[in-house]
Structure 1
Amino acid sequence: MSSSVLGSSTSMADNIYHVEICRDPHSTARNEEILAHVDIFFRGRVLTTRDLHITEFDDKFLQQHVSKIEVSDIKLSQQETICTADCIFRYHIYQLHEDGPGTEELDDEDLAAANHWILPSREFHGLWESLVFDEDIKTKLLSYASTTLLFTDKQVDSNIISWNKVVLLHGPPGTGKTSLCKALAQKLCIRLSGRFTYGQLVEINSHSLFSKWFSESGKLVMKMFQKIQELIDEPQALVCVLIDEVESLTAARKSAMSGSEPSDAIRVVNAVLTQIDQIKKYPNVIILTTSNVTGAIDLAFVDRADIKQYIGPPSPSAIYSIYKSCIVELVKRGILTSGQTVLDWRSLEFMRFVENTFNRDSLQLKEISEKSHGLSGRTLRKLPFIAHAMFIQKSQASLQEFLIALDKAVQQQFKERTDLARD
């Protein structure tokens, strides 16, 4: 992977755009060659909405060696354009790893202690873009992670300026905390491709690792972090450690202090915190954690977190954006139609159809979004499937038919929740 810069000499942050170039999996071209061809494409060009996500190229070299070019984190309407003469483009070249996750097992123990991915991974491709939040949480986290790695790289004295390289995302279940951690790890590997050759994501299985309170449990923790240390020892790899539902640590410590669990539990929790303190000094590691129970998080851990970001249920405006992305995907796949022939999703006609559709039917979708307030992001992503399965049941439908079905699916969801509450 590699990074480069294209554009004028302006230093305004608003004029900096990140261009992510996904290499074809079979490409053997040098990054410099790819950058030269992409440079020709962008030089002096006026970018429109069609140029933000490019999968088809006139340039035969790009056809052979590039799968996708994306100008990241920008939204344009059909009327808006970007003049490249006024911009700085930061280029990030990457290649997706096709393998799925591996399992980290601890010697002879019957214990799947962690899942392990090499990044960037095909499994997480597009995940960052699919996540919708009310605040600009994604940009905030990306900026934090970039700064913390920069400070470590520049050997800033941590006795003068303190940071722990720990992110804590907390909030109710189903709001996208774990997905955001995985997407952030993937995005960092792409954005820091000039600094690191590849990435590693290690997702620690908290329930398995922290619930085995027997005399060997402290050794299990040590073995887990020894494996992580082996990954960190490769300086060309960015290592992201994900501890999901970190409140498991707190539950263990509280049980131990109340006398309901052996004192070994305290030693295990202390070992985890000590290991986090040890690995944070390395320049190529960041620790991402989540919690569903805000009030139960151990204060000793909370103190270590540089950012404590609440992730709550989406607002109606965020719900609208989620539904819109789902509808665009169904139109793209030909399941929802305009009443005419199925449009090529890469064409300008498709983009015009989508924009005109939401201008025309946005009021109805906004009403459905208001009715959906209170549902988790996880549930919202399932509702288009449920709407089709329960209330459409045919291979193609109009947008109007789908919106009626989606409205019914939302009502059914709340009814099911009420029925479950009665049990």
Structure 2
Amino acid sequence: MEETPDDTLVTWPVHIEVRLTRSATVRFNVVRQAVHEFMTTSFGAVIWPSTAIEDWQTNPILGSSVERIYASEFSCSGRSIPISQADLQIHVFQPYSDDTYDECTGGGDGEEEVVSATVTEMPSRSLEGLWESLIYSDGVKSKLLDYIYATIAFSDADVDFNVVSWNRVVLLHGPPGTGKTSLCRALAQKLSIRLAHKYDHARLLEINAHSLFSKWFSESGKLVQGLFGNVMEMIEEGDRFVVVLIDEVESLTAARAAAMAGTEPSDGLRVVNALLTQLDKLKHKKNVLVMATSNLPKAIDSAFVDRADIVQYIDLPPKEAIYQILHSCLLELIKRNLVQPTEVPNLTYANYLITDNLGETPDTADRSTRLAFKLMELAQRCRDQHLSGRALRKLPVLAYATYSGAFSQGVTSGKGGSQPGTPVETWLNAMEKIIDDKRLEREKMEL
């Protein structure tokens, strides 16, 4: 047990997320107290990160009101924490189900309206699990969360903007398919849960950047002002946290580049200047975060980049991250009875098995070791082809569709037959074939 020099027990913040049922009417603080009591008296000796908490259903309050209790990622480097050293941060939430609608701003005078954004009430049931499904190797998710906590701490302390400045603007850039937009949505979902003690409501406003350019000349600047006027109304009361997502922000700055070239000078400049002006207004508000994504960072105007507190490159996943993605896909197929129940090594255990069995052959190694070697080999093949996270998560259904004959030999309804699903080795072989098919398709495209 780790102790400080003065024998004070070191504690680590552990975030526990508690999802209520749709029909639950119990007060959040009652649930919070019940979870804390369960975790400290009945749970066990240690707690593991990124795991579902079990055996709480016997508690009357929790059993009637809670759907899931989940221990999120830890800030400390250890794999587990003794419950005595866990500073439990319990977040209770009740997600919305029917939660998305269009927010319109006016078009030209007397003309049709233009849909410029969609608004989603948070936390959203449709976004559950998205945060956990995004796998990066450089700690970008923790970095973004820590940034938000820092801005909130500075705001709560009334730090003088004239001395220390921040804009609450984040720019994510990188190749297509690396999960930039999904990460923004997942962060909005996570913040709506983590900040529920400060804000009663949360919203995600996704701006359609292309719609900000009106077909009516000189109206685009008004569209931007009208849209951000809606944002200001949302955050004015102070009890709602709003995340503004500008996807493909380069479409705005590309228009400014065209304006500077003289092809459409006034309207393009009005849009970008209006956007920058609105960002400067929002930075003084405590309950708003602006996130932007781009596939073409060189096209982004320097004035916008300069306003971003964080400019984060989101790369294609490395081999280790690919292993985790393929591992998560396989676990989902096992859960749904499409693949037979099998103990599949996670990344940490797979690395141990591979290192400890380098001299083994497929014929002499045990099944877990063979699965680790095979899944790591597939991960390396995907990395060699520079497949994005989006492409990786499409592979299982493509493998099933292309090689369904092999799969159908083992698939049953789960109500009869010896065992539902197909053997995991069959799935791995089909995945290997579809990865090879993808390589051949790419080679043909490059001819």
Q: Name the residue aligned to 1:59.
A: 59
- Per-residue CA deviation, residues 363-392 of structure 1 (Å, 9 max, x unaligned), is 011011000010011000100111111113
Q: Name the residue aligned to 1:241.
A: 244
Give the deviation of 1:287 after TM superposition.
0.4
Deviates more, 1:210-219 or 1:193-202: 210-219
Q: Name the residue aligned to 1:93.
A: 92
- Per-residue CA deviation, residues 321-376 of structure 1 (Å, 9 max, x unaligned), is 0000000111111111048xxxxxxxxx9999xx8975541101101100001001
Structure 1 residue 273 and structure 2 residue 257: aligned? no
Structure 2: runs of 5+ lacking an equivalent: 1-6, 351-366, 412-420
Distance 1:372 1:114 in 2: 35
Q: 2:445 aligns with which of 403, 420, 423?
A: 420
Structure 1 residue 407 and structure 2 residue 406: aligned? no
- Per-residue CA deviation, residues 101-122 of structure 1 (Å, 9 max, x unaligned), is 2111123534210011010001
With a CA cutoff of 8 Å and minimum separation of 6, indicate the structure with the bigger relative contact order.
Answer: 1
Letter in 2 for 1:70: Y
Letter in 1 for 2:228: F
1:349-364 alignment, distance < 5 Å: 359-364=369-374
Give the deviation of 1:137 after TM superposition.
0.6
Distance 1:198 1:25 in 2: 16
Task: Say whether the 8 Å CA contact 1:10–1:87 is kept in structure 2.
Answer: no
Query: Per the alignment, in what secondary structure is the counterpart of residue 193 of structure 1?
Result: coil
Structure 1 residue 202 and structure 2 residue 199: aligned? no
Letter in 1 for 2:60: K
Q: Name the residue aligned to 1:345.
A: none
Give the fraction of aligned pairs with identical amino acids, expressed as a percent: 43
Deviates more, 1:368-377 or 1:81-90: 81-90
Q: Name the residue aligned to 2:398.
A: 386
Query: Per the alignment, in what secondary structure is the counterpart of residue 372 of structure 1?
Result: helix
Change (3 A) 1:33 1:381: same
Change (3 A) 1:257 1:238: same
- Per-residue CA deviation, residues 274-313 of structure 1 (Å, 9 max, x unaligned), is 0111111111001011110121111000000000000010
Change (3 A) 1:309 1:358: farther
Q: Name the residue aligned to 1:290.
A: 293
Query: Per the alignment, in what secondary structure is the counterpart of residue 265 of structure 2?
Result: coil
Query: Per the alignment, in what secondary structure is the counterpart of residue 303 of structure 1?
Result: helix
Give the deviation of 1:210 after TM superposition.
3.3
Distance 1:48 1:12 in 2: 15
Q: 1:19 aligns with which of 13, 16, 21?
A: 16
Q: Name the residue aligned to 2:358.
A: none
Give the deviation of 1:82 after TM superposition.
3.5
Task: Say whether the 8 Å CA contact 1:46–1:81 is kept in structure 2.
Answer: no
1:21-420 alignment, distance < 5 Å: 21-44=18-41, 45-47=44-46, 52-54=51-53, 57-73=57-73, 82-107=81-106, 109-210=112-213, 212=215, 214-338=217-341, 359-373=369-383, 374-392=386-404, 393-394=407-408, 395=411, 396-420=421-445
Give the deviation of 1:227 after TM superposition.
1.0
Distance 1:130 1:11 in 2: 34
Deviates more, 1:361-370 or 1:411-420: 411-420
Distance 1:152 1:283 in 2: 6
Query: Per the alignment, in what secondary structure is the counterpart of residue 180 of structure 1?
Result: helix
Q: Name the residue aligned to 1:6.
A: none
Distance 2:99 2:321 in 1: 30
Deviates more, 1:187-196 or 1:298-307: 187-196
Query: Per the alignment, in what secondary structure is the counterpart of residue 73 of structure 1?
Result: coil
Distance 2:368 2:223 in 1: 54
Deviates more, 1:23-32 or 1:89-98: 23-32
Distance 2:50 2:39 in 1: 9
Aligned residues: 401
Distance 1:391 1:375 in 2: 20
Distance 2:388 2:280 in 1: 34
Distance 1:81 1:228 in 2: 41
Query: Per the alignment, in what secondary structure is the counterpart of residue 397 of structure 1?
Result: coil
Change (3 A) 1:384 1:65: same
CA RMSD of aligned residues (A): 2.6
